[in-house]
C-alpha cells in the first residue's frame, strides 16, 4: 500500500489478513468467553471473518471501499448468530455507508470509519462506555484518533494508535463490572476477566495496523 491511503484492492488484502489474525486467536477468544459466557466467541469470530473473506474474494474488481465493507457486514451477520453477529455486522455495514463515494481510506476516512462503527454500536447495543462490552475498545480507539492533531497526520501511525488504544481498553475491561450484555448477570464474578468482544475488536484493529505497517514498509 501507499502509506497515505488504502485502496479497495488493499482493503481486500487487509480483511484477509484480519481474518487470519482472528483465526489464530480462536482458542484464546473461546477461553475468554468461557470465563464469563458460553465459550464460543472465538468460533463465532472465526466463522464470521471466514465468511467475510469468502464474500469479498468473490466481489467484482470494481467494488469500492463502501461495497467491500457493506458486503463484509452482510456476510458476517449472515454467517454468525447472537449479539456479536448483529453488532459487528451492522458496524461493518455502517462503515461502508459512511465511506460511500470515498475512493480510498486515508486519515480522514479512518476517522469516519471508527466514528460510524461507534455510533452504530451505541444505537444498536445500548451499552455505554464503562459497561464492560466491545464498546469500551471501540470508544477508546475512536477517542484516541479524534484527539490526534488534525495537521500533519499520517494513516499508519493513526491505525497503530487505534490498535494500541483498543488493546489497552480491552485489557482494562477486566477490572470493570458488567452492566450490559450477557455477562451482566454474573456481577462481581466477571471481575478479573476482560470482555471477549472488546478483546476481539482490539484484535481487529491491531491486525489492521499490523497489515498497514508491513505493507507500507515493503511497498513504499
Residue 193 beta carbon to Mg ion: minimum distance, rounded to whole angstroms: 13
Sites for Mg ion among residues 97-136 (CB under 5 A): none
Using CB under 5 A, which of 24, 27, 38, 189 touches Mg ion?
Answer: 38
* 40 belongs to the binding site for Mg ion (CB under 5 A): yes
Task: Give the DSSP H/E element, type plus range, for residue 96.
Answer: helix 82-98
Q: How long, in residues, is the chain?
A: 220
Binds Mg ion by CB under 5 A, chosen from 37, 48, 96, 194: 37
Distances in Å between the Cα of 129 and the Cα atoms of 15, 17, 28, 35 are 27, 28, 24, 21
CB of 87 to Mg ion, least distance (A): 13
Rama region for 101: left / alpha / beta (φ>0; ψ in -120 to 50; rest): left
Query: Judged by CB, which is closer to Mg ion: 8, or 125?
Result: 125
Cell digits for 22?
482472528
Binding flag, residue 85, Mg ion (CB under 5 A): no
| Identity of the residue, 96 or 181, whose beta carbon is nearer to Mg ion in the bound complex | 181
Q: Out of 33, 71, 136, 195, name the contact with Mg ion by CB under 5 A.
A: 33
The candidate with the shortest Cα–Cα distance to 110, out of 214, 14, 19, is: 14
Applying CB under 5 A, the site for Mg ion has a residue count of 5
Cα separation of 184 and 190, whole Å?
8
Question: Are residues 184 and 178 in contact, defined by beta-carbon separation less than 8 angstroms?
Answer: yes
58 binds Mg ion (CB under 5 A): no
Taking CB under 5 A as the rule, does residue 147 contact Mg ion? no
List residues near Mg ion by CB under 5 A.
Answer: 33, 37-38, 40-41
Amino acid at each position: 500500500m501507499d502509506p497515505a491511503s488504502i485502496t479497495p484492492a488493499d482493503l481486500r488484502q487487509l480483511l484477509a489478513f484480519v481474518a487470519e489474525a482472528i483465526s489464530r486467536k480462536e482458542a484464546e477468544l473461546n477461553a475468554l468467553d468461557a470465563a464469563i459466557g458460553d465459550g464460543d466467541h472465538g468460533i463465532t469470530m472465526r466463522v464470521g471473518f471466514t465468511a467475510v473473506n469468502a464474500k469479498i474474494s468473490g466481489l467484482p474488481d470494481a467494488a469500492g471501499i463502501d461495497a467491500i465493507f457493506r458486503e463484509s457486514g452482510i456476510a458476517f451477520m449472515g454467517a454468525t448468530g447472537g449479539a456479536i453477529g448483529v453488532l459487528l455486522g451492522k458496524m461493518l455495514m455502517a462503515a461502508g455507508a459512511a465511506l460511500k463515494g470515498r475512493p480510498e481510506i486515508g486519515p480522514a476516512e479512518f476517522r469516519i470509519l471508527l466514528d460510524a462503527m461507534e455510533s452504530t454500536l451505541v444505537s444498536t447495543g445500548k451499552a455505554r462506555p464503562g459497561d464492560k462490552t466491545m464498546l469500551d475498545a471501540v470508544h477508546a480507539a475512536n477517542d484516541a484518533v479524534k484527539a490526534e492533531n488534525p495537521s500533519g497526520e499520517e494513516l499508519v501511525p493513526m491505525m497503530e494508535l487505534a490498535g494500541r488504544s483498543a488493546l489497552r481498553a480491552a485489557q482494562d475491561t477486566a477490572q470493570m463490572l458488567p452492566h450490559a450484555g450477557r455477562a451482566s448477570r454474573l456481577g462481581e464474578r466477571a471481575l478479573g476477566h476482560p470482555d471477549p468482544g472488546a478483546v476481539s475488536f482490539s484484535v481487529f484493529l491491531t491486525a489492521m495496523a499490523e497489515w498497514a505497517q508491513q505493507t507500507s514498509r515493503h511497498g513504499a
